[in-house]
Amino acid sequence: MSSLLIHNIGMLATPEGTEAHRGPAQGQLRVLENAWIYTENGRIVSFGSGEPPLTAEEKLDAGGRLVTPGLVDAHTHLIFGGWRQNELAMKIRNVPYLDILASGGGILSTVKATHAATEAELTNKAATALDEMMRFGTTTCEAKSGYGLCKDEELKQLRVIRKLNETHPMDVAATFMGAHALPPEYKENREGYLKLLCEEIIPAVAQEKLARFCDVFCETGVFTAEESRQVLECGKEYGLIPKIHADEIDPIGGSQLAGQIGAISAEHLIVCPDEGIASMARGGTIACLLPATSFYLNSTYAPARKMIEQGVPVALASDYNPGSCPCLNLQLVMNIACLKYRLTPEEVLTGVTLNAAAAIGMAELVGSVDRAKQADLVIWDAPDLNYLCYRLGSNLAHTVIKKGVLYHG
């Protein structure tokens, strides 16, 4: 047995429980001052404030700092070959994201670079990204396929995710996103690609148990709401839980669909209409918002306050990908969520911990400091939560703890 006692915690801030928090509860945290946490074999056993009533094999003095649960990044496109720095000049000239895609660039250029990379190359590259995420305080993440767009290449990406989950300290939840773009060879044959997804690729993903979730890019020029429904319903039949990229650029019905089919989360929601919010509230869908993408696309920001008011739980994630958000830093996401969404630091913390964990079906295990959850914690170079959300551009992660093991920020 290995035990760890973290003591002299200036402030312990955490949401509580194993379910997403909505409405006013999103902003309600457990806050303990002068606190301690005791863990055994990588799990939280007890915590409290005042003098710790017990000792452990290993003792860690938090030096009066802030401690929170390890951050959870519920939306990344972690596995890809190459980069797209050539698009920066186009962005500066205001060439729209969807125009770059329609001209064969964007996602489709990353598809080429990902096909050209071996499984080992993709694994190494993504492992480096996971290392960086951990240095910024992320201890659990989600990762999507979607730069394959054919059976072998989608399976290749998902096998990389599985391998990383097995070998890297980060917990990595896998999402199949074969419906990320229409492959150019199917340009005149949309039904052909939907058929391939539903009749060949999804069954193969399910058979190898390579993913837990199925995601679709529901967007103008990509997949319509009806096509998205078809793919997600098919995924459901094979046991894949639906997620959906909705209302990122145009509101074409994605958020309404999310609530109707009981998607666990809907992503982006930058231009989410009121009916979409109402549908998600009815369906119990979590809004997974990606404020760094709004920043990077120079677009508007999702109506996060309205979502909280209407009882939709809000999770916050990076959207790490080579096109619309090459960013691994959830601290930056927290800053932007405060300043642009006008969320409070308490609402933001719930968004990057418990609600994010719920958005990837892991809230029983991670996302809060609660008894029996994994000892995934961050000691911050910050005296309190306000300071963490207020400072900009520094990495304030001092010590990152994953399953009771120490990594440094």
Q: Given the rule CB under 6 A, which residues bind ligand NIG? A: 77, 106-107, 110, 217, 245, 248, 293, 319, 321-324
Between 248 and 347, CB nearer to ligand NIG: 248
Question: What single string gives the DSSP state of each residue in 138-205?
Answer: EEEEEEE--S--SHHHHHHHHHHHHHHHHHSSSEEEEEEEEETS--GGGTT-HHHHHHHIIIIIHHHH
- Residue 110 binds which entry of Fe ion, ligand NIG, none, CB below 5-8 Å type-dependent: ligand NIG
Shortest separation between residue 182's beta carbon and ligand NIG, angstroms: 13
Q: Which range of residues in 39-47, 80-88, 165-173, 313-321 is near Fe ion by CB under 5 A?
A: 313-321
CB atoms under 10 Å from CB of 85, counted, come to 9
Helix pair angle (119-135, 151-167), 10° resolution:
50
Closer residue to Fe ion, CB minimum distance, 266 or 363: 266
Of 154, 247, 319, 347, the one binding Fe ion (CB under 5 A) is 319
- The two tokens of residue 8 are 């002299």
State the nearest-atom distance from the C-beta of 245 to ligand NIG, in Å. 5
Task: Kindly give the pairing relationship between strand 265-268 and strand 30-40.
Answer: unpaired
Write out the DSSP string of 223-267: B-HHHHHHHHHHHHHTTPEEEEEESSSS-SSHHHHHHHTT-SEEE
Q: Which two tokens stand for residue 53?
A: 């009533």
Question: Shortest approach of ligand NIG to residue 248 CB, angstroms?
Answer: 5
Closer CB to ligand NIG, 212 or 245, in the complex: 245
Q: How far is the CB of 268 from Fe ion (least distance, A)?
A: 7
* DSSP H helical ranges for 312-400: 330-341, 345-352, 354-359, 385-390
Q: In which order are the strands placed within the sheet that holds 213-216? A: 71-73, 138-144, 171-179, 213-216, 241-246, 265-268, 286-289, 314-316
Pick the stretch among 47-55, 281-289, 316-324, 347-355 that binds Fe ion (CB under 5 A): 316-324
Q: How far is the CB of 318 from Fe ion (least distance, A)?
A: 9
Residue 248 binding result from ligand NIG, Fe ion, none, given CB thresholds of 5 to 8 Å by partner type: ligand NIG
- Contacted entry of ligand NIG, Fe ion, none for residue 159, CB cut-off 5 to 8 Å set by kind: none
Complex with ligand NIG: residue 322 or 404, whichever CB lies closer: 322
Q: Which is nearer to ligand NIG, 319 or 376 (CB)?
A: 319
Q: CA dist 113 to 4, 147, 159, Å?
A: 44, 9, 17
Q: Distance between CA 180 and CA 381 in Å, rounded?
A: 38
User: Residues binding Fe ion: what is the number (CB under 5 A)?
Assistant: 1
Contact between 87 and Fe ion per CB under 5 A: no
Q: Minimum distance between the CB of residue 106 and ligand NIG, rounded to whole angstroms?
A: 5
Site of tokens 């039904």: 191
Considering the complex, state which of residue 146 and residue 345 has its C-beta at the smaller distance from Fe ion.
146
Q: Which is nearer to Fe ion, 177 or 202 (CB)?
A: 177
**Which residue has the CB atom at the shortest distance from ligand NIG?**
323
Distance CA 204, CA 152 (A): 10
Q: Could you tell which of Fe ion, ligand NIG, none binds residue 293, using a CB distance below 5 to 8 A set by kind?
A: ligand NIG
Tokens, residue 393: 């551009």
Task: Name the binder of 217 from ligand NIG, Fe ion, none, CB < 5-8 A by kind.
Answer: ligand NIG
Rank residues 332 and 379 by Cβ distance to Fe ion and give the closer one.
332
DSSP string of 21-88, one letter each residue: --GGGGG--EEEEEEEEEEETTEEEEEEESS-S---SEEEE-TT-EEEEPEEE--B----SS--TTHH
CB of 409 to ligand NIG, least distance (A): 27
Q: Does 73 help bind Fe ion (rule: CB under 5 A)?
A: no
C-beta of 106: minimal distance to Fe ion in Å? 12
Instruction: From 70, 40, 69, 38, select the one nearest 51 (Cα to Cα).
Output: 38
Question: Of these partners, ligand NIG, Fe ion, none, which one is at the site of residue 322 (CB under 5 to 8 Å by kind)?
Answer: ligand NIG
DSSP SS3 for 19: coil
Tell me the residue nearest to Fe ion as measured from the CB: 319
CB 232 within 8 A of CB 213: no
Q: How far is the CB of 360 from ligand NIG (least distance, A)?
A: 15
Question: Does an H or E element contain 126, and which?
Answer: helix 119-135
Quote the least distance from Cβ 328 to Fe ion, whole Å.
Answer: 14
Residue 247 in the binding site for Fe ion (CB under 5 A): no
> Contact positions toward Fe ion, by CB under 5 A?
319
